[in-house]
Chains A and B, each alone.
Chain A
Amino acid sequence: MRNKLTPVFLVLCGLLSSVSLLAHHGNAAYDYAATKSLKGTVTEWVWVNPHCILKLDTKDDKGVDTHWVLETGSPVDMLHAGFSATIFKPGDEVTVDIMPTKNGAPVGRIRRVVFPDGKALVAGGRYTL
């Protein structure tokens, strides 16, 4: 077994030296205890595995624009949570509660979305949250 696993491990180490092959199970990168609320404009809703992505533009009190990339769960998990592939459209104004990153990158995991009509959905199902 050791002989078989060793080359596999070496290959994995090699692959992981490439930034483009980083993992998607990145729990350690997020601050689980924190919640940040964002109010902004949807630019794109990307309905893909492993996790759907919401792109959101915000402007803070000082007029600084930020482009956020916010992940959720997989499409099947999002369907379970009441979302759909067409639930967001570019230009939608939404409020999003996110789990922020530890390194301050404008990335987050969505906890909850409040839509323009006041409807709120908790994102991602049991697994993601």
Chain B
Amino acid sequence: MSNRFGILGLMLFALPIFSPILCAQTGAAAQAGDAGQQDWWASHEKWNTPLPDKSVYAGKKSAPAPRRNLSGAWDGLNEGGTQPKGAKDYPDDASHRPEPPYTALGKEARMRNKAGEGEEQVPIAMVNDPVDSCEPVGFPRTDLFSLKAMTIVQTPNYVIWLNQSHNVYRIIWTDGRELPKDPVPRYYGYSVGHWEDDYNFVVDTVGMDERTWLDNVGRPHSSALHVTERFHRVSRDLLELTVTIDDPKIYTKPWVAADKLTLHLLPADFDMGEMICSPSEMSQYKKLVANPISDK
């Protein structure tokens, strides 16, 4: 419980300090119509603020993008951030997009991962998704599944990424250090970032623990995985995230898992509600729901 409040406290502390640009904004959740949109931006819950309906972003006039600045709370929910059936640009659904280009080892690893979602979904008793046992989501699954609200905080030496889903944080170093050569695997890897120009921030991450999945349908990765994230600040209110997967042990060539996934800037007073995997709550859920429905 104390960890929850620690992260939440950091989020609350960071928002007003590092997001002055957001102060010009107000606002949030309407169901429909211009009047409703204005109402939402002018008045919304100050605690556990709900992510709004996407209609509040429609036609919203935006100022130009600030230079070298990603700070703020962002909404990934309304433009495909949930990605329940796999990464945005490789959905494992009826659209029958091709699978990523697996190596032989990659195909074996893919077959071992039994997901509860996607075209290859298995009965609930056979699912071996680590998230269902409250194991760490890991990176880049945080980008490729359930990307709801997140807060980005810039400091002189690093960028902090605070993710609502599963209460995850990442540190992206910008002090010029190089990526580790032989890293001890971590669930969220080792990240360095640099500004390619005033509006494009590029993050390279290596050293991810291969027990985690890439996405919600069980795409695998090895410890050789290298992920490149490109954050393009389109305007004050829009950020685009592109995620490229490069793992020569598992995939024959790099592939773009999410191309220009749109994130909307949220109000400066947006309070991210908790979304935490609690083992005791998960146990309760399984007892009440999962177990009774597990025999088919």
Residues of A within 8 A of B (CB): 1-2, 4-5, 8-9, 12-13, 15-16, 19-30, 46, 48-51, 53, 69, 71, 74-77, 79-80, 82, 101-103, 105-107, 125-127
Contact = CB atoms under 8 A, between A and B. Distances in A.
Nearest to A106: B292
17 contacts: A16-B127, A19-B125, A21-B133, A22-B125, A22-B290, A23-B116, A24-B116, A24-B285, A28-B123, A48-B281, A49-B274, A49-B278, A71-B289, A76-B274, A107-B292, A126-B77, A127-B82
A49 B273 CA distance: 12
Interface residues of B, number: 62
Interface string B41-79: 000010011111100000000000000000000000100
- 6 closest pairs, A vs B, by CB? A25-B116, A23-B127, A26-B124, A79-B50, A23-B132, A29-B293
B127 A2 contact: no
A101 B29 CA distance: 33
Contacts of B112: 5, 9
Interface of B: 45, 48-53, 77, 82, 84, 105, 108-109, 112, 115-117, 121-133, 146, 148-149, 164, 210-211, 216, 222-223, 249, 273-278, 281-296
Given A69-B288, A126-B82, A27 B116 contact: yes
A4 B112 CA distance: 13
Nearest to A29: B293
A29 B128 CA distance: 15
Given A50-B277, A107-B292, A22 B105 contact: no
A2 B133 contact: no
A75 B274 contact: yes
B109 A5 contact: yes
A82 B40 CA distance: 13
A107 B289 contact: yes
Contacts of B295: 103
Nearest to B109: A5
Contact of B282 (A24, A71, A75, A82): A24
B294 A19 contact: yes
Contacts of B216: 25
Contacts of B126: 16
Contact of A25 (B127, B273, B292): B127
B294 to A, nearest CB: 5
B50 A24 contact: no
Nearest to B77: A80
